[in-house]
Structure 1
Amino acid sequence: MDSRSHVTNRPPHPNPRLTNRKKVFNRFIRNKSAVVGGFFILFTIIIAIFGPFFAPYDPTAQDIVNKLQPPSSEHWFGTDNFGRDIFSRILHGTAITLFVGFASVALGATLGVLLGIVSGYYGGKTDSVIMRSMDVLLAFPGILLALAIVSVLGGSIINVVIAVSISSIPIFARIVRGSTLSVKKLEYIDAIRALGASDRRIIFKHIFPNITSPLIVQATLNIATAILSASGLSFLGLGAQPPTPEWGAMLSDGRNFLYNAPHVALIPGLAIAIVVLAFNILGDGLRDALDPKAKD
């Protein structure tokens, strides 16, 4: 056989990145609870996008005559103390809840990643100033810090997003700093620097892609925390303002009717609990799948 033919018929060398992604995916799908959580989150996102188009009633329309009606064929989840259809309000509130969760984590992660990667890469006084600032923020429990910020800014959905995002910045900053310190000590980083690569190229082309795994896991878990914090702020009257159909505000409205109409508080409370649980389960599954020490 001709040598050129032998070289041509040699199987192509597998792409290591593609192989690693397949291993991560296989580890993830073996975790049944994480898959269920992922599918439920996908279902929730679909509801947030298309649910309002299929809501049978206007979520803010009042019908005092039919207030506090129990679940029925006409009102699947019953009505609240103003006669508003709870099912329609839940559908519209899904988009608000997910928006707060995703937006606050996206904003907090962006700022936290930038601060953490600069702190870990440059070190010295830059590291000290940034990390001491993060320590000050970490000294306050997340919900109390968000509560203080919203109290100053005023109650609204946007202010809740800002408050929750600020409380999550130090978490991402510390994770990214630790990962950056580990990656920048690798030999190939020294080689790239010796070849004349700029700090910006090293940070964004070579360090950041290697520290995304813990970020993905933390972001998923932080969405659950953000949803809880936002719902808590709305429950206290510092988040979404009436008549916005936000789940935390709905839960607050229903607490006065726990004995004669428990469904008013029970349904939005269950919605919050199930979505938060789904994100936590998904985050645990992603953590196991992205763990480089995990067995395939």
Structure 2
Amino acid sequence: MKGNMAETSMVKVQSGNTKLANLSSFYKRLKRNKAAMAGGYLILFLFLTALLGPYFTQYDPTIPDYTAKLESPSKVHWFGTDHHGRDIFTRIIHGMPITFYVGFVSVLIGSFFGIGIGLISGYYGGMMDAVLMRVMDVLLAFPGILLALAIVSVLGGSLTNVIIAVGIFSIPTFARIVRGSTLAVRKLEYIDAVKALGATDMKIIFQHILPNILSPIIVQATLRIATAILTASGLSFLGLGAQPPTPEWGAMLSAGRSYMFDHPHAAFFPGIAIVIVVLAFNIFGDGLRDALDPKMKKGESR
């Protein structure tokens, strides 16, 4: 009995060492991609700014000050003021948590349902696979922004409805990726061995299939956050997202477009904030895809 316990503990230690080695190898591959590292550090900086920045701003992001309407950037107002006299820098800082919240929560919703549909469809196949994938095909037939626009038009304009809409249009992408990965893993010999030992379907799916297809899911989630932020900003730009006076970047850009020629700062700074966040997630996502690519691992071992 003691021998069995010792062997079990040794297996756990070896498993832990293997995971650490894999993590170290992954970080080395990621570190080689300078652009991806820059994107990752930028995301970390923006996240910390979203978390702590609102506590260090001196102006209220929603209260108007009509004595300071449309002032140009200065030492007092770094990014200038909007048509209500509100400090644009303050509103961008206070809008950053909203941007991250919309991006992460909507992708979380889409990935949760998409992963579930993809696993069920890929593992069981047959009629269930056919029905689920045809539903996904219908959703994929619509361009993402149009599908989100249709959903928000039905539900009504609000930040919560934008998150739901972006989450729904993210489901088919995750479902397709997970289904394809599940089909590939399901055919491997170790899955047949686990089945022969009497493992239940749920155990096979969540303990043996899902952990082995996490790489494409993580990459897709990272890239999808950028798409979600861009789509949510677009819906707010059209007046279907966050409602005034919420300092949401898409709504700020929409309000500033009326003053683009005389006071370009009103639209420039919210627009450049959206570009920076989306670019950071896209660059980091591309780096993750390269670092998690099995072909790169094989090349590295050689």
Supply the distance in 1 between the matched residues of 2:20 and 2:257 (Cα, whole angstroms): 51
Equivalent residue, structure 2, for 1:17: 19
Among 128, 138, 153, which residue is 1:151 paired with?
153
- Which region of structure 1 is more displaced relative to structure 2, 115-124 or 44-53? 44-53
Aligned-pair identity in percent equals: 66
Between the aligned partners of 1:42 and 1:157, the Cα distance in structure 2 is 24
What is the TM-score when the length of structure 1 is the normalising length? 0.95
Q: Is 1:180 equivalent to 2:189 in the alignment?
A: no
Q: Which has the higher helix share?
A: 2
Partner of 1:3: none
Residue 192 of structure 2 is matched in structure 1 by 190
Equivalent position to 1:122, from 114, 121, 124 = 124
Separation in 2 of the partners of 1:18 and 1:187? 26
In structure 2, C-alpha distance between the alignment counterparts of 1:57 and 1:27, rounded to whole Å: 43
* Map of 2:258 onto structure 1: 256
Aligned residue in 1 for 2:290: 288
Q: Is the partner of 1:244 in helix, strand or coil? A: coil
Find 1:39's aligned residue among 32, 41, 60: 41
Which of these residues, 57, 63, 66, is aligned with residue 64 of structure 1? Answer: 66
**Greater alpha carbon shift after TM alignment, 98-107 vs 13-22:** 13-22
Number of the residue aligned with 2:99: 97
Distance 1:160 1:13 in 2: 46
Output one character per residue of 1:38-83: Cα deviation in whole Å (capped at 9) or x when no partner. Answer: 0000011111111110111000011111100001111111000000
Counterpart in the other structure of 1:169 = 171
1:49 aligns with 2:51: yes
SS at match of 2:157: coil
User: Distance in 1 between the 2:27 and 2:68 partners?
Assistant: 50
Alignment-mate amino acid for residue 123 of structure 1: G
Paired amino acid for 1:64: Y
1:112 partner amino acid: G
The aligned runs of 1:215-230 (5 Å cut-off) are: 215-230=217-232
Shift of residue 17, structure 1, vs aligned partner: 2.8
Give 1:162 shift: 0.2
Compared CA separation, residues 190 and 265, structure 1 to 2 (3 A): same
Q: 1:208 aligned to 2:204? A: no
Q: Residue by residue, what CA displacement relative to the aligned partner does 1:242-271 show, whole Å, maximum 9, x if unpaired?
A: 000000000000000011110000000000
Q: How many residues align?
A: 285
SS at match of 2:75: coil
Over aligned residues, Cα RMSD in angstroms?
A: 1.0
Query: Any gaps of 5 or more consecutive residues in structure 2?
Result: 1-12
Instruction: Indicate the residue corresponding to 2:9 in structure 1.
Output: none
Separation of aligned partners in 2, 1:284 and 1:195: 39
Query: CA-to-partner distance for each residue in 1:187-241, whole Å, 9 max, x for gaps?
Result: 0100001100000000000000000000010000000000000000000000000
4+ runs deviating over 4 angstroms:
none
The aligned residue for residue 109 of structure 2 is 107
**Residue 13 of structure 1: CA displacement?**
6.4
